[in-house]
Amino acid sequence: MKHIYLNLKRFDIPPEKGGVNRLSPVESWGSCLVKSTQEALRAYDPAQAEFVMFLPEAHLLNAAAAKTPGSPVRLGSQSVYRADTAAGGNFGAFTTNRTANITALLGCSHTLIGHCEERADKAGILAEAGVKDPAAVNRLLNAQVLAAQAAGLRVVYCVGESSQEQSDWENVLGNQLSIGLKGADLNRVVIAYEPIWSIGPGKTPADASYITKVARFIKERTGGLDVVYGGGLKQANAAMLAGIAEIDGGLIALTRFTGEIGFYPDEYLEIIRIYLGA
């Protein structure tokens, strides 16, 4: 099974506000994404590939409403809170936080936990309190993984090393996996590997040999979990990544990196075509 994940970040903000949304008005953005892709994605065998879109919470309802019967599009949230409502327990006192229960009720089957941007945010908050301990970030993420699974969600769990951590990458990734997935049902987890040191303008992308090495390590540490490339599946690297047996899919974000940068459904479909060879 190949996993094609789409992390739409905050791509709903229009250019006049500094964003990249040139697709539709904000109120119909979620439905536009589904309607622009679901029919084309029907061409792929659902037993061979799954397509999940991770959207900001505000867009999940109209995205779910745009799905037609048998739609190949699945929806996910961009992480969940580490605690949740429970019968006979907390009734919902989670102001500002998105719990896994509401995520599932809004139409999600998946959630994305531990993305490098989420890890950086948590590390920054902890640093304000004088805590500089990567294990603390992993423990918080572990609570989120467990909460997500308790609500019935499948988890895409992100791991990756920064430039400062690259020389010690095995320990860094090993701790992210062992702490972050402690007690989790691994049958409902896919790992997304993000080589943080290689992501962004002016940086040298990780090559096939490096990605292969790390993917093999992750599979060995997790008993063979599927591993997708989280450093950005795009047209420029889709064929290369498709040739790595240890990689089981990828995480797409921007589809255009020059000119009117942003996410464009037709370019998303082209990335999938190249990667899946169809």
Dist CA 46 CA 59 (whole Å) = 24
Residue whose entry in the numeric block shows the structure tokens 């008005």: 25
Identify whether 59 is a catalytic site residue: no
3-class secondary-structure state, position 192? strand
Please name which of 84, 111, 107 lies closest in space to residue 190, comparing C-alpha atoms.
111
Instruction: Identify the active-site residue in 50, 118, 161, 194.
Output: 194
Q: Which of 50, 110, 115, 118 is catalytic?
A: 115
With CA atoms as reference, report the closest residue to 81 among 64, 66, 62, 102: 102
Q: What crossing angle do the helices spanning 116-128 and 134-150 adopt, rounded to 10°?
A: 120
Q: Which of 246, 192, 177 is nearest to 76 (CA)?
A: 192
**Residue 27 annotated as catalytic:** no
Q: Is 101 helix (H, G, I), strand (E, B) or coil?
A: helix
Provide the terminal-to-terminal Cα distance of the chain, rounded to the nearest Å: 15
Say how far apart CA 78 and CA 106 lie, in whole Å: 13
Positions annotated as catalytic residues are 115, 194
